Amino acid sequence: MNSSNTPNDWSRHLATSTRRLRRSAVREILKAAVRPDVISFGGGLPAPECFPDALIARASARLLDAEHGGRTLQYGESEGVAELRALLAESVDRPVEEVLITSGAQQGLDLLGRALLDQGDTVLVENPTYLGALGAWRPHGVRFIPLPIDGDGMVVEPLDGLLRTERPKFLYTMPNFHNPGGAVLSLERREGLIRLAEAHGFLIVEDDPYGDLRYDGDSLPSLLSLAQARGIEDQVVRLRSFSKVVAPGLRVGWLRAAPTLVDVLVKLKQAADFHPNILGQRIILDVIRDPGFNEHLAHLRKTYRERRDAMESAVAQFFPEGTTWTTPVGGMFLMAKLPHQLNAVSCLRRALDAKVAYVTVDNFTVDDSGTDAVRLNFTNASPERIREGIERLGNLFRETANRSFQLTS
């Protein structure tokens, strides 16, 4: 048999961009953590018991009945279902031509990469940042420039200097309930960022899948709305998702961008999958129009606030002294930085043996920093399970810290 026909030779057929792909560490950990006896803080999973399944069931029955089934199951428009687009456009006070529905916000990130990125381009990212964005854009051979974050989100101040020498294709940010950091970009920094975008003419990609999950305080204006107030809205692409407030399995997200960019993204969407899933979009449309949806949102926020509180108090009680974190006022994650340079990566195997899963923050960085920090999801387990899992983890981290202290002293 010709050696080029052996399965092992596949790799030499791969495109250069494909070779740059990496498996998502989070998805890999999720595989290990699906067993019911594992308490998983690993994925960004909503609580399944909070899915609005009664609303979804009602919508599905209606959409698939004799009257509506023909339309629901037919091919559809690439831009998305017209009524849903119109509703979403209205929610951001923009014309419908600027809205594209995607297969989750993740597809929006992927399409943007395909539309905008060439080999050697520069992309400014928070460090750490969402690993799904890195995964989508890395194959294009781009250079990521890391921007530090603190309790008020991305540190915007040094950007002015940086932008005198760098011409980034875009800057990517999660202003609300950052993944993995949990922080919110302060109003002052939002305004500063928009002023910089105006001065330097760069594009901002604002990713906001968690914006509706706020547990304390008032919402801040989106970067899009601040840009709109200054007449530079076409410099902002805003991505949103129904994964976190309805159900991720439906795979419905959306974005708002300049109409000329939407036009390009539609062509890419046609090449990728023709159009978003019609049943999913129509279910979303019914669910968000249902009078019960606000009640569902209120219940979700209440449940997640209790879980956030349970996690924060357990981390305060059980994690080693010197652990630091920013209280997440929304979203799904608490990022804890461990003291004494504890290596969370090397503790992971033992954590899994103890039947607790987490992800380490180095997966979210572009410079491999973050091995001493963990991202903990607090939405997918009950307060009791959260407490139990954090106690187990805390014991493990404290034992490891004590052992390395004994070794070095």
Ligand X SMILES: Cc1ncc(COP(=O)(O)O)c(C=O)c1O
Interface with ligand X by CB under 6 A: which residues? 44, 104-106, 130, 132, 174, 179, 207, 209, 241, 243, 248, 253
For ligand X, the closer CB: 26 or 311: 26
Residues 6+ apart with CB under 8 A from 104: 241, 243, 248, 251, 252, 253
- The region, left, alpha or beta by phi > 0 then psi within -120 to 50, assigned to residue 340 is left
Minimum CB separation of residue 316 from ligand X in Å reads: 25
Minimum CB separation of residue 230 from ligand X in Å reads: 25
For ligand X, the closer CB: 282 or 387: 282
Angle CA 254–256–258, to nearest 5: 145
Contact present, 42 and 33 (Cβ < 8 Å): yes
For ligand X, the closer CB: 44 or 128: 44
How many Cβ atoms from other residues are within 10 Å of residue 325's Cβ?
21
Q: Distance between CA atoms of 133 and 366, rounded to whole angstroms?
A: 11
Minimum CB separation of residue 370 from ligand X in Å reads: 16
Q: Which two tokens stand for residue 3?
A: 């050696």
Strands 253-256 and 359-360: unpaired
For ligand X, the closer CB: 174 or 262: 174
How many Cβ atoms from other residues are within 10 Å of residue 108's Cβ?
28
**Alpha carbon 218 to chain centroid, angstroms:** 21
Minimum CB separation of residue 203 from ligand X in Å reads: 17
For ligand X, the closer CB: 175 or 394: 175
Q: Distance between CA atoms of 400 and 396, rounded to whole angstroms?
A: 6
Minimum CB separation of residue 104 from ligand X in Å reads: 2
Residues 6+ apart with CB under 8 A from 67: none
Q: Which two tokens stand for residue 149?
A: 């974050």
Minimum CB separation of residue 244 from ligand X in Å reads: 7
For ligand X, the closer CB: 42 or 394: 42
DSSP count for the chain of H helices, then E strands: 15, 14
For ligand X, the closer CB: 81 or 163: 81
Q: Which two tokens stand for residue 377?
A: 């999801």
Mind giving me the DSSP string for 384-406?
Answer: HHHHHHHHHHHHHHHHHHHHHHH
Minimum CB separation of residue 174 from ligand X in Å reads: 5
Q: Distance between CA atoms of 127 and 137, rounded to whole angstroms?
A: 15
- Residue nearest ligand X (C-beta atom): 104
Contact present, 97 and 82 (Cβ < 8 Å): no
Minimum CB separation of residue 136 from ligand X in Å reads: 9
Q: Distance between CA atoms of 79 and 386, rounded to whole angstroms?
A: 41
For ligand X, the closer CB: 105 or 226: 105
Which of 108, 154, 105 is closest to 129 using CA atoms? 154
Phi, psi (deg, nearest 5) at residue 179: -110, 110
Strands 122-127 and 170-173: parallel
For ligand X, the closer CB: 179 or 326: 179
For ligand X, the closer CB: 370 or 394: 370
Contact present, 100 and 262 (Cβ < 8 Å): yes
Minimum CB separation of residue 253 from ligand X in Å reads: 4
Minimum CB separation of residue 243 from ligand X in Å reads: 3
